[in-house]
Amino acid sequence: MTQVYLPFLTAIALSAIAAFYSVIGLAQIFPGSFWPIVIMGTVLEIAKLVTVSWLYNNWSVTVRAMRYYFSIAVVLLMLITSMGIFGYLSKAHLDSNVSLNANSVQIKTIESQERIAQERLSYLLKKAGEDPEKISRRTDQAIQETQAELRRLTEQKLPLLREENALAAEIGPIKYIAEMLYDEEDPSFIDKAVRAVIIVIIVVFDPLAILLLIASQQTYRNIKREKIEPEIKKAKKKKTLDTPNGPSLESFFVDKNTEVIPKDKITRLDGGSF
């Protein structure tokens, strides 16, 4: 029965995970009605599994219209599940991109401020000249303030650089995949790779759960049939009559040449004839 329970439990686990991703993804697509979407998605996922199981076990006795409708409904529910999974995974990618982009914007802003401060410092140093004695108190104060500003900007940029490196490490695997599939000069090559990976996950996620559920029921049906067939053969064997193995009564009236002895020529024990 392992061949029945293992595919069945795997199908239930895959369906449960797919349902979770799908329900959360659908709720994110329609954020205005979070709990109604969660309830609707959960009931639809359960209905999908029940429909697949019932349709497989009653395919031959179900009218054609119901078979067509149930089949179309299952396919549409699989598409809805895939759409929810796509929404969930794509939102996770977009969240990481938002953090990375916001960090990059802050770093670019600080770098722009650094560039302006560096140009001001260069101007002040040029104005002061090479002789330190010619530097006025006002110019010296401006130089010190500019240098302090550069140090402050550098201190602000270092944590952002560390965070950017950490975020870049998180998207590193998908970046390598994107570099194999798309041109790096394309500004959206990472997004395209993410979409391709999500589509591959969708193709093998919910359909695999449905097929494993059907496979478990098919295996259970085969095992049940194998148990019933020997009982039927045994019952039929009991009904057949056994053929006698001993000699029949007629064999006593047949000689060695297999010729039948006439009854009037057989002598009785008392000397008479029949």
273: helix, strand or coil: strand
Tokens (6 digits) for 253: 């009236």
Is the pLDDT score of 65 beyond 70? yes
Q: Which amino acid is at 273?
A: S
Across 239-258, average pLDDT: 51
Q: How far is CA 171 from CA 93, 118, 174, 175, 194, in A?
A: 9, 33, 6, 6, 10
247: helix, strand or coil: coil
Q: What pTM does this model have?
A: 0.64
* Res 233: pLDDT: 65
Is the pLDDT score of 88 beyond 70? yes
* Res 252: pLDDT: 47
DSSP string, 120-163: HHHHHHHHH-S-GGG--HHHHHHHHHHHHHHHHHHHHHHHHHHH
